[in-house]
Structure 1
């Protein structure tokens, strides 16, 4: 009885042992497809890593100077948001409502501390109007250090004012910040009340909403509003809140599995970032990983303790105790935390 007779009599194909082995070509094709599926993410990841590493703007490592603080426990980042308008054409600058200004200043100054011993990371805002000694320029506002001597003088000013040694540096300007927000598809944020900036005329409605790059920049810069009665103290608190939401969105599953969004985030972020020469994507990822718990309370967030709402003068005792705890990887006492 042949195979054709078997199919005619019972209406079904013969058993596998009668049909013979599957063609080798089909098995080889499946193996090739599997290999491509495994290698493609690895190749994409490797290329993206190289692209980011080669696209980051870099400055020389901070030089040593007499009296520089010794390295403490953990790792300290100086995170700076500058008001640089470099790369912004007049139309984009108008869209972002950033106006015109000569030179560069720091809209945002933060110290991100990543501990070694398992205590929660810490993110400390330094009000830009803080009056501190700026080496070679007397006592003046801390954001003037960046305008007078760039990242190097700002880092030295922060180190001498806090007693903390700065290990890493990350800086981003207006356009880069807005681009990052747009790259992740916007950031969802809930506002308790309407925010209207009397200086720029911009308004953010109350309620939960997705902020694009333009609105996000308005939110983190706003201090002339009924919703920010403490002026710069409220603004730096809003900045920490938004950074937490941005990091959470950037590290979300939906972002990471989307190659187009991942590429846009990495590409825009790298081109907008300024870091130290020895630093690279690995250092940046370690910072982002440590800061991912801002929104959930896994990161201690605070402002340097000040004497009043003007934020011109630090509370020397409390500020000193805060920095000492950070320098030794100790938990931050509640009475040292300024919301």
Structure 2
């Protein structure tokens, strides 16, 4: 058999044939014309410097020959970037924080002041009236000059009287009906335990608050639940702290002994004038001390109205002055709390007009003897907390019947 001549590149006889897909045999010395040429793998060029962290390529800098990226353009004058506006929540939070701080101030200041207030042991020992509905406060104005300087005594025309007496005695009753503020004239003739029949203010001089409370409870049958005492200098301090009060004398009042010279009609009064107005007893030739008790009720209720007015609580300076004047102005009975004192102050604002009643203890003459029948009726209304049933003829400014006063 004739052999086919081998062409160039073919394997020699006896040599395994090389297959381009399955391998085997000798690798031919060059690509065949119909074979696919494979390009060698090449690494991609990168601009990241060698050893860059993470091996991440750097940001492209643009192709060679392309213009550089222009820098950011600054805003033209008058066209500055508008700052981001605050949303409603931001301002709500600000208001909330301010409100919480204000509430903390309103609470903290009275507590600081209350820590400086003197407490008085006023409850007597022995038999006392049983608990009664409502709350009855005994309010005493002391004429003690303690704490007043020589210059203040001269300015306030208080003199240099020694000892400690009561110029003002009032009962404030609060309960289911209208608030009642009732004056007890200091010259009222009553039985003072251990001292016989004498003027009621002698009880305070003999035995202080305890004997005065015992005298009033035995004479009226009304249980005294709490006690508040104000000194001469305290009236001035508190009136000035609220920026003055309005007084409405019904006649011109000139009293050198009290340092008073005012005209008839409603007018603003500072602390000194208010004190003189409450102390004067020589300007009314007819009623004397009875008229003074009326003026004292007027000053007390006016001070209470000013202290509890909204302006006191929105003006931080006035609020501070009022609260800090309390320790220099008042003494309270043991057991009184700051909130109890606030209720008492609020009650004093509700004793005029339709909100309450102001009157003198019913008397029969200017000596001063209590009217046995009428005074008992008044005391029973208070004990039973029925102030809304008190007849108009029973509650009069002087304590005398309306047929006498007109």
TM-score normalised to structure 1 length: 0.88
Tell me if the contact between 1:326 and 1:332 (Cα under 8 Å) persists in the aligned partners. Answer: no
Aligned equivalent of 2:65: none
Aligned equivalent of 2:213: 155
- Structure 1 residue matching 2:378: 3-state secondary structure: helix
Q: How many residues align?
A: 322
Distance 1:202 1:70, change over 3 A: same
Aligned equivalent of 2:288: 231
Q: Distance in 2 between matches of 1:274 and 1:61?
A: 11
Higher helix proportion: 1
Deviations 1:150-174 (A, max 9, x none): 1111111111111000000000100
- Structure 2 residue matching 1:335: 3-state secondary structure: coil
User: 1:176 deviation in Å?
Assistant: 0.7
2:347 to 268, 272, 290: 290
Aligned equivalent of 2:372: 316
Tell me if the contact between 1:52 and 1:281 (Cα under 8 Å) persists in the aligned partners. Answer: no
Q: Distance in 2 between matches of 1:228 and 1:261?
A: 39
Distance 1:198 1:36, change over 3 A: same
1:240 to 288, 293, 297: 297
Distance 1:44 1:250, change over 3 A: same
Aligned equivalent of 2:245: 187
Aligned equivalent of 1:39: 100
**Correspondence 1:93 to 2:93:** no
Aligned equivalent of 1:114: 174
Deviations 1:44-67 (A, max 9, x none): 12211211220111022514312x
**Correspondence 1:257 to 2:318:** no
Deviations 1:189-232 (A, max 9, x none): 2333210125445311223321111100110111101x452011
User: 1:101 deviation in Å?
Assistant: 1.1
- Structure 2 residue matching 1:169: 3-state secondary structure: strand
**Correspondence 1:58 to 2:119:** yes
Q: Distance in 1 between matches of 2:285 and 2:229?
A: 25
Q: Distance in 1 between matches of 2:178 and 2:216?
A: 22
Larger relative contact order (Cα-Cα within 8 Å, sequence gap ≥ 6): 1
- Structure 2 residue matching 1:266: 3-state secondary structure: helix
Q: Distance in 2 between matches of 1:276 and 1:200?
A: 29
Tell me if the contact between 1:126 and 1:303 (Cα under 8 Å) persists in the aligned partners. Answer: yes
Tell me if the contact between 1:129 and 1:142 (Cα under 8 Å) persists in the aligned partners. Answer: yes
Q: Which has the larger radius of gyration?
A: 2
Q: Distance in 2 between matches of 1:191 and 1:277?
A: 36
Q: Which 4+ residue blocks in structure 1 deviate beyond 6 angstroms?
A: 11-14, 26-29
**Correspondence 1:134 to 2:189:** no
2:390 to 297, 311, 332: 332
